[in-house]
Structure 1
Amino acid sequence: MSEKRLQKRDEISDEYKWKLEDMYETDELWEAECEKASQIAEKLSGFKGHLADSAATLLDFFKKQDELSYYLERIVVYANERSHQDTAVSKYQAYVSKAETLTVQASGALAFASPEILQIDDKRLESFYSESNELMHYKRAIDEIMRQKEHTLSAAEENILAQCGEMAAAPENIFSMFNNADIKFPYITDVEGNKIRITHGNFIDFLSSKDRSLRKQVFRGVYDSYKKWSNTVSMMYISKLKNDTFYARVRKYDSARTMYLSGGDIPESVYDNLIETVHAHLPALHRYMALRKKLLGVEHLHMYDLFAPIVDNVQTTYTYDEAKKLVAKALEPMGDEYVSTLKAGMESGWIDVYENENKRSGAYSWGAYGTHPYVLLNYADNLDSVFTLAHEMGHAMHTYYSNEHQSITYAGYLIFVAEVASTCNESLLMHYMLEHCEDENERKYLMTHFLDGFRTTLFRQAQFAEFEHIAHRKMQKGEPVTKDVLNELWYELNVQYYGPDMRVDDEISYEWMRIPHFYTPYYVYQYSTGYSAAVAFSKKILEEGKPAVDKYIGNFLCGGCSKNPIELLKSAGVDMSTPKPVDDALNVFEDYLKQFETATK
């Protein structure tokens, strides 16, 4: 019996690794910039009590703040990405800690600014704008501070909260180390007799196996592992809920949700519209589960059957080189400039491709202003990995365009729009593959992938959103929040979402424990809203061509945070303040479901 193991970092060819040297050629340069950032933060403290002195002083403050943001972004991204490529390297764990300390130092140095700006008389501020055209560049930033006036504390109180930053980050940091470096899943034996350890990277791949006993073995192996640590992991998340509730109360928000959505000026009705609209379409998801049960030919459909192939005899292996070509071809409707930049990025060190021992799980795109974006993958030669490449390069291209067309003040697009460009790329890729598919069986396979994309993104992320909102509400109301309460809540949501044809296994109660996004509160709903907006944009791009592309790239991708997210999307042609985009997207799901039901009769 042979044993397959993960490659170590140094065993992977450099052509499949990102080039973090493009950000800092040496670690010593990173350390030097840490010192520089610390000095700038100290200088910013010197503005305390003087922001209302003159237009020139206020302008100088904002310029210095931009300079600090430039260095801090680079420092934080580099430290984390060095750590993520091998989470067991203590040097880079220390770098992450140092970057967090610097961030807290910067927050402390700037704590006086918002309260002080809020004290500037409106007429005096208007006179500043009249005196300085340069200061007008910062008017939107100042207006955003004014919008938060009710929730901004005194300078002393803001400084105290800033000093609490490292402590407040503890639940997320502890969970990250636990989930990426400490928890170990059991070994399983595959059909060829190979002994393989289950990892975050191969978990879904195993659940996609045709071997049901293997799926069941892997499913139980993972969730039994979380069950053993369930008291510890529950306390991590409960601590996070307490943090959020504390900050919401201190800042005089009605709830943690109000607090988190206010950052992007997102109406809470958008969140509620999403959940209500998804609930209205749950019968369609239940129909899909009934069809999955029928096609698998099982007496009871189990949670470990969700990724099992229900269409046979199709190519499901794609090398990384094949994936790059396929993604570039599928995105040709985006225009020559977009595609040429995309190709250059995929060939010039933007991407860290393969899983290695202790590498951070999952995938993301992350960059710092002034350098190209970076993409972390754990590529696994399957169709999901192809779509992940398209998805993360959508993020990267959004970052690229925003950085190219906005100053550092407004380049960072807000979370609400963060998943639109990525999912639009996925939608265009699916359209291309379906259009160029000649084999009927392969077409059915792609339709299942498309339907599962809706299930795992629009439906599942709405389920995540519902879970964390209920958990936060319970904490806010002073109701008991324990491991058992959270497990029961997650179990019941699975029953509700997957319907009567799904046998919801007891082990699924522990699934919420492996979701890192819960430590970035009120984030996941934006996967669902973003997916809906992306379906709308991809439809416009395919139907209207260049005018829609120009509007999408020019008004949206290049927009950064130069406008409120709802207005930014509206300017590009999609109004997310209404339930319509979500409803329209779910109608697309139902249309494809009908086609698939007909094709499999």
Structure 2
Amino acid sequence: MAKELPERNKIDDKYKWDLEDIYKTDEEWEKDFNRVKDKLKDIATFQGKLVNSSQNLLDGLNLIMEVEEVATRLYAYAHMRQDEDTRDQSYQSLFNRAQSLHNELASITSFMVPEILTLSREQMNKYLEEKEGLKLYRHLLDNILRQKDHYLSAKEERLIAMAGEVTQGPYNIFSMMNNADLTFPIIKDEKGEEVRVTHGRFIELMENKNRRVRKDAFKALYSKYNEFINTFASTLNTAVKSHIYYARVRKYNSALESALDDDNVPVDVYNNLIKTIKDNLKPMYKYMKLRKEILGVDELHMYDIYTPLVSDLDIKIPYEEAKEMVINGLKPLGDEYLNILKEGFNSGWIDVYENKGKRSGAYSSGCYGVHPYVLLNYTDNLDNVFTLAHEMGHAIHTYYSNKNQPFVYANYKIFVAEVASTLNETLLIKYLLENTQDEKKKKYLINHYLEQFRGTVYRQTMFAEFEKIIHEKVEQGQPLTSGLLKEIYKKLNEEYYGPDVVSDEEIALEWARIPHFYYNFYVYKYATGFSAATALANKILEEGDKAVQRYIQFLKSGDSDYPLNVLKKAGVDMSSPEPIESAISTFKEFVDRFEKLS
């Protein structure tokens, strides 16, 4: 009998998030939905009059923020309800309605920016002096004027906003295919028992000590993607075209420049990341060679990449134990931070275990005015302990931001988002290494850190380069066929993993299962975030309370300043390659340390 996933109603309630903290019933959701619908008409009355006076500007901005706050709550509830069981059509419908409302709101408010852009800097300053309440919106208004060259007329902005529902299509189709429609084959585990490959189990199977199990799981997963590879290529091709469409209508030189400008991040930061990593592939190659030697294999295949190199140490970590490990690891962040962490563990923030139909992976989400939420698909291994620390980093960043910023600045940029999550992982690994004398366990933990670095810095930079290449291909008029995507991906895989790794044919399909390629140049932020987090974690451990206070201030800053500025105030300059080079030095030290223990 195959090990199948449980239905959601079989999971203990204490391991489920409590979405009733957002809406006690679906009926309450409906009331807010109708309230927003009615308020859309009120917003429309400001069109053509928004900047006629400082009072109009203030009233209009206040109303838009009020409605957007409720709309984000509607969206959060609907998407998290759907993610509990993606097969549930009632919540698919609720999510689709929330998404449509979001697009309708974007369409209705599309006059806001073009009308603000008709103001001169002098007129804007005059309005700010006239109305004390407008000072709240100073950074928002400055940011709009900064991007003046890339906004169009109110009529054109409305047309662009109306296209939102269509351009979201590729990701929605991918998500449904990936989470709801794909059923992966059953394989036999190391005991000969049947087990179905799932998204949640895949990495666990890749970590299996039995090479036959790893190989079978690897081939089983990718055989299913291969069945639909042309569909996945088509959805990704269309997603890339939508990114380019928005870049071109807004008069950017490239989709990359357009995506980065929202964070006010220069293209050089992206290109420098790729260049710095590619100039420093030797430590990665050394690690792969070491992996091959320790595993004692003639050929190191892609299904050998994840299995721990300490084969006789099998660490199983139940969820309750994982929580204690995270609390202990994050003690350098102080009592205030730890109290928020414990509140999150005990107050319905987290959806812990995988169930049938549940969205794969892990994330932190939520809405203003309600505590954040975390989705996990927890299995009892060390990797999932780090995932818990990672997602709670996001959640507590959101908690601090929401508590200390008004709604307009609460939603911090993704560029800084990965700092808080990765810093937690960095502190946890350092704590665990310091608190074990067992050489095998120490070796296991170093191996975990090396895997974390490989996955977060080297692999995500490879993803970032893949994104850059495929966007450039489409910008040059070349369609992304499945054959071309496989060719590009396999070549990059060979380049980043080096001569001691066999790039199996199946790995050329990996792009088909990565949701982040639909997120418009998102993944590079994992690598820059990891580098910034490494620097900040070191400062916290070296300087103590002073560095902690700077870091907590960073968490409280939200979107009240540009990301590079917020990080600079915390003590890291991401416009230079120095933090990335420093992170690579740490990786190299860990590789050398691992080699000595082997």
- TM-score, structure 1 normalization: 0.99
2:93 maps to what in 1? 94
- Residue 62 (structure 1) aligns with: 61
Instruction: Check if 1:370 corresponds to 2:369.
Output: yes
Note the C-alpha offset of 1:191. 2.3
Matches within 5 A, 1:322-401: 322-401=321-400
Whether 1:475 and 2:474 are equivalent positions in the alignment is yes
- The corresponding residue for 2:574 is 576
The secondary structure found in structure 1 opposite 2:20 is helix
Q: Following TM superposition, by how much is the alpha carbon of 1:124 offset from its aligned partner in structure 2, in angstroms?
A: 2.5
Question: Which residue pairs with 1:252 in the alignment?
Answer: 251
CA RMSD of aligned residues (A): 0.8
- The sequence identity of aligned pairs, in percent, is 48
Instruction: Give 2:555's aligned residue.
Output: 557
* Count of residues in Structure 1 that have an aligned counterpart in Structure 2: 598
The residue aligned with 1:132 is 131
2:586 is the counterpart of 1:591: no
**Residue of structure 2 in register with 1:76 after alignment:** 75
Shift in Å, 1:41: 2.0
Structure 1 residue matching 2:313: 3-state secondary structure: coil
Amino acid at match of 1:209: N
For 1:135, the aligned partner's letter is: L
CA distance in 2, matches of 1:6, 1:472: 38
Taking the aligned partners of 1:260 and 1:166, their CA distance within structure 2 comes to 19
Give the superposition deviation at 1:520. 0.3
Q: Structure 1 residue 54: deviation in Å?
A: 1.4
Contact residue 17 and residue 353 of structure 1 kept, 8 A:
yes
What is the rounded CA distance, in whole Å, between the counterparts of 1:452 and 1:52 in structure 2?
Answer: 53
Partner of 1:460: 459
**CA distance in 1 between partners of 2:218 and 2:512 (Å):** 14
Q: Tell me, what secondary structure is at the counterpart of 2:408?
A: coil
Give the superposition deviation at 1:245: 1.3
Shift in Å, 1:248: 1.0
Report the Cα distance in structure 2 between the residues aligned to 1:547 and 1:70, rounded to whole angstroms. Answer: 34
Aligned to 1:112, the other structure's residue is in SS state helix
Paired AA for residue 168 in structure 2: A
- Cα distance in 1 for residues equivalent to 2:456 and 2:413: 19
Question: 1: distance between equivalents of 2:347 and 2:125?
Answer: 47
Q: Which residue pairs with 2:503 in the alignment?
A: 504
8 Å Cα contact 1:277-1:582 kept in structure 2: yes
- What's the offset of the Cα at 1:281? 1.3
Asked if structure 1 preserves the Cα contact closer than 8 Å seen for 2:208 and 2:214, the reply is yes
Give runs of aligned pairs for residues 6-21 of structure 1, distance below 5 A.
6-21=5-20
Alignment of 1:97-112 (within 5 A): 97-112=96-111
Which whole-Å CA distance do the structure 2 matches of 1:27 and 1:494 have between them?
A: 46
Given that residues 312 and 441 in structure 1 are in contact (C-alpha distance below 8 angstroms), is that contact kept between their aligned partners in structure 2?
no
- Distance in 1 between the 2:452 and 2:43 partners? 47
Corresponding residue of 2:430: 431
1:185-584 equivalences under 5 Å are 185-554=184-553, 556-584=554-582
Which amino acid in structure 2 is aligned with residue 596 of structure 1?
F
| Cα distance in 1 for residues equivalent to 2:103 and 2:281 | 43
Aligned twin of 1:162: 161
CA distance in structure 2 between the partners assigned to 1:381 and 1:598 by the alignment: 29
Amino acid of the structure 1 residue aligned with 2:78: A
AA partner of residue 183 (structure 1): L
Is 1:363–1:377's contact at 8 Å kept on the other side of the alignment? yes
Q: Tell me the distance in 1 between the aligned counterparts of 2:191 and 2:51.
A: 73
Question: What code does the residue aligned with 1:564 have?
Answer: Y
CA contact (8 A) 1:172 1:240 kept: yes
Q: Secondary structure at the match of 2:187?
A: strand
How far is the alpha carbon of 1:405 from its aligned partner?
0.5
Match of 1:220, SS state, is helix
Q: Aligned to 1:111, what secondary structure does the other structure show? A: helix
Question: What amino acid does structure 2 have at the position aligned with 1:597?
Answer: E
**Deviation, structure 1 residue 314:** 2.4
Cα deviation digits, residues 119-176 of structure 1 (max 9, x gap): 1233322221111111111111111111111111111111111111110100000000
Look up the match of 2:149.
150
Asked if the contact 2:240/2:518 (under 8 Å) is kept, the reply is: no
The amino acid across from 2:229 in the alignment is: S
Counterpart CA distance in 2 for 1:80 and 1:437 is 41
Cα deviation for residue 310 of structure 1 reads: 1.1
Contact 2:401–2:558 under 8 Å retained in 1? yes
Q: 2:453·2:587 contact (CA, 8 Å) conserved in 1?
A: yes
Partner SS, residue 370 of structure 1: coil
For residues 312 and 474 of structure 1, the distance between their equivalents in structure 2, rounded to whole angstroms, comes to 43
The one-letter code matched in structure 2 to 1:581 is P
Moved more, 154-163 or 296-305: 154-163
CA distance in 2, matches of 1:233, 1:141: 38
Deviation by residue 1:26-75 (Cα, 9 ceiling, x = unmatched): 01111111111122222111101112221111101111111012101101
Distance 2:116 2:147 in 1: 11
Distance apart, 1:481 and its partner CA: 2.4
Aligned equivalents of 1:306, 1:40: Cα separation in 2: 53
Displacement of 1:300 in angstroms is 0.3
Separation in 1, partners of 2:513, 2:479: 22
SS of the equivalent of 1:409 reads helix
Q: Report the Cα offset of residue 88 of structure 1.
A: 0.3
Q: How does 1:171-186 map to 2 (within 5 A)?
A: 171-186=170-185
Q: Summarize deviations over 1:215-234 as a string: whole Å, max 9, x none.
A: 11110011111011001110
Report the alpha carbon displacement of residue 358 of structure 1 after superposing the two structures with TM: 0.6
Give, in whole Å, the separation in 2 of the partners of 1:263 and 1:127.
26
User: How far 1:189 sits from its partner (Å)?
Assistant: 1.2
**Do the aligned partners of 2:15 and 2:350 also contact (CA within 8 Å) in 1?**
yes
Letter in 1 for 2:192: G
Partner SS state of residue 204, structure 2: helix
Amino acid at match of 1:441: K
- Aligned mates of 2:65, 2:239 — CA distance in 1: 30
SS of structure 2 residue aligned to 1:375: strand
Q: Distance in 2 between matches of 1:123 and 1:559?
A: 27
Pick which of 411-420 and 478-487 moved more.
478-487
CA deviation after TM superposition for structure 1 residue 315, in Å: 4.2
- How many Å separate the matches in 2 of 1:124 and 1:239? 42
Once the two structures are superposed, residues 359-394 of structure 1 have per-residue CA deviations (whole angstroms, 9 ceiling, x without a partner) of 000000011000000000000010000000000000
- 1:410 aligned counterpart, secondary structure: helix
CA distance in 2, matches of 1:98, 1:579: 44
* CA contact 2:82–2:88 (8 Å) conserved in 1: yes
State how far apart, in whole Å, the 1-side matches of 2:284 and 2:437 are. 28
Matched, 1:5 2:4: yes
What code does the residue aligned with 2:151 have? T
Report runs of 4+ in structure 1 exceeding 6 Å deviation. none
Tell me the distance in 2 between the aligned counterparts of 1:148 and 1:123.
Answer: 17
Amino acid at match of 1:389: L
Moved more, 49-58 or 534-543: 49-58
Q: Could you say what secondary structure the match of 1:308 adopts?
A: coil
Give secondary structure in 1 for the equivalent of 2:407: coil
